[in-house]
Amino acid sequence: MSGEHRADENRADGTGRPVDPTPEQEVQAVLADPASRTVVDPTAVNPDLADPDFVADVVAPSRDIGAKVGEPLLEVSGLTVRFGGVTALDDVSFTIDRGDIFGLIGPNGAGKTTCFNAITGVYEPAAGSVTFDGRPLKRVKRHQITRRGIARTFQNVRLFGEMTALENVVVGTDARHRTSVLGAALRLPRHHREERDAVDRGMALLEFVGIGARAAEKARNLPYGDQRRLEIARALATEPKLLCLDEPAAGFNPSEKVALMELIQKVRDDGFTVLLIEHDMKLVMGVTERIVVLEFGRKIAEGTPAQVRDDPKVISAYLGVPDESDEAAVGPEDASVPGAGEGDDGRA
C-alpha cells in the first residue's frame, strides 16, 4: 500500500464518511502530546483512574473466584522432570489454595524454575500430574495455559522494548479477546468495544502497579524496577486465576523489594492467587502464607513461613549460600524482615 490513502485512515468503512477515531487513536492523541512524552497524567485518559477502588475493580473485574478461598486451585502431584541423566525435579507434590500467596523457594539449581516450567507447560514432565481449577493440565499448549488462567513473569525481563508500556499491557489483554480475526479486520462493533476495554484496562493496570504515569514510555526506557512492574501488569492483563512470579525481586535493592512485596500483597488482595518463586528468603517469609522448599529437585520442607524457617533441613540447605538470604534463614525474628506487620517500609 502506498502512502496516498493516509488521509483516509479514519474512513475505515470505505464510504468516505468520517468515522469516530478508534480508541487506540484517541489514546495515541493523548500520549502524543509533547508535554506528556514520557510522563502522562493517566486521569487525562480516564478521570476515574484517580480512584484506587475504581482501578482495583477494573484490574480484577471478576472477583468471583468460583470457589471459597481456601479451596485448592493448583494441585501438583509427584511431578518429575528429567533432562537427559539429570533429574531436575523429583516426585514433588504440593497444593496451592485459592487466594494464597504461595512461595516456592530453594538454593540455586534446586529445581524451582523447572517446577514452574512444568506447571506452565514449557516442559513436559516425565511423571506426575498438575491439576488446575479442577481439570488436568496434561498436554496443554502454552497459549492454552494462559486461556486456562495461568499467567507468569520470567526471571529475565521479557517485554516488547520498542512498544510503550501501555502497548505492552494491551497486548496482554489480547489473550482474552473473543473477536475473530475476521471480526477484527472488519472492525465489527464487538472488536471496537474490546479494543476500548483493552485500553481502559491497560491504563488501569499500569496505575494499579504504580506506573500509570509512564504509559507512553517505551518499555526499554523504563527503569528496571518499573519494567518488572510492567511485566506484572502485563501478566494481570490476561485476567489469570493464578499469577506466577519467577524471581520478581532479582536485582532489586532492599527498599525496592519492600515495595514489590507490597504490590504482591495488593495483587492478592484484589482477588488473585499468587505463586512466588524467590531466592530471597526475607521477601518470601514476609509475604507468603505457605512455602515449599526444594533442594536438588526434591521437596525438603513445606509449611507456614514460621514452620519452614525453623526447619533444620531448610537452614542447612541455605547455610553457605553467600547472600543476604542466610541471615533470614537463621534469623527469623530479625526486625528487618519485611512484611512482618509493623509497617516498616525498609527504607534507609
Ligand X SMILES: Nc1ncnc2c1ncn2[C@@H]1O[C@H](COP(=O)(O)OP(=O)(O)OP(=O)(O)O)[C@@H](O)[C@H]1O
- How near is the Cβ of 301 to ligand X at its closest, in Å? 15
**Is 62 or 108 the residue whose CB approaches ligand X more closely?**
108
Stretch that binds ligand X, among 81-89, 190-198, 222-230, 327-335 (CB under 6 A): 81-89
114 sits near ligand X (criterion: CB under 6 A): yes
Grid cell in block for residue 336:
528487618
**Cβ within 8 Å of residue 98, ≥6 positions away:** 65, 67, 68, 69, 70, 71, 72, 73, 241, 273
Stretch that binds ligand X, among 58-66, 109-117, 158-166, 329-337 (CB under 6 A): 109-117
| Among residues 99, 103, 106, 125, the one that binds ligand X under rule CB under 6 A | 106
The answer to whether the beta carbons of residues 60 and 240 sit under 8 Å apart is no
**Is 110 or 145 the residue whose CB approaches ligand X more closely?**
110
CA distance 54 to 75: 33
The answer to whether the beta carbons of residues 269 and 177 sit under 8 Å apart is no
| Among residues 31, 79, 100, 113, the one that binds ligand X under rule CB under 6 A | 113
CA distance 86 to 123: 14
The answer to whether the beta carbons of residues 230 and 160 sit under 8 Å apart is no
Instruction: Give the count of residues interacting with ligand X (CB under 6 A).
Output: 12
**Is 207 or 278 the residue whose CB approaches ligand X more closely?**
278
Grid cell in block for residue 259:
515495595
Count of helix runs (H) and strand runs (E) in the chain: 14, 10
324 sits near ligand X (criterion: CB under 6 A): no
| Among residues 42, 111, 128, 339, the one that binds ligand X under rule CB under 6 A | 111
CA distance 320 to 341: 29
DSSP-H helix ranges across 85-188: 112-119, 142-148, 165-173, 181-185
122 sits near ligand X (criterion: CB under 6 A): no
288 sits near ligand X (criterion: CB under 6 A): no
- How near is the Cβ of 227 to ligand X at its closest, in Å? 19
**Is 90 or 311 the residue whose CB approaches ligand X more closely?**
90
109 sits near ligand X (criterion: CB under 6 A): yes
105 sits near ligand X (criterion: CB under 6 A): no
CA distances, 3 to each of 8, 9, 171, 185 (Å): 10, 10, 26, 20
CA distance 305 to 211: 30
Stretch that binds ligand X, among 4-12, 104-112, 188-196, 219-227 (CB under 6 A): 104-112
Q: What is the x/- site pattern for ligand X, positions 264-283, by CB under 6 A? A: ---------------x----
- How near is the Cβ of 110 to ligand X at its closest, in Å? 4
Q: Residue 321: is it exposed, middle or buried by C-beta count within 10 angstroms (0-12/13-18/19+)? A: middle
- How near is the Cβ of 158 to ligand X at its closest, in Å? 15
Q: Residue 306: is it exposed, middle or buried by C-beta count within 10 angstroms (0-12/13-18/19+)? A: exposed
- How near is the Cβ of 185 to ligand X at its closest, in Å? 39
**Is 200 or 246 the residue whose CB approaches ligand X more closely?**
246
Query: Rule CB under 6 A: which residues touch ligand X?
Result: 83, 86, 88, 106, 108-114, 279
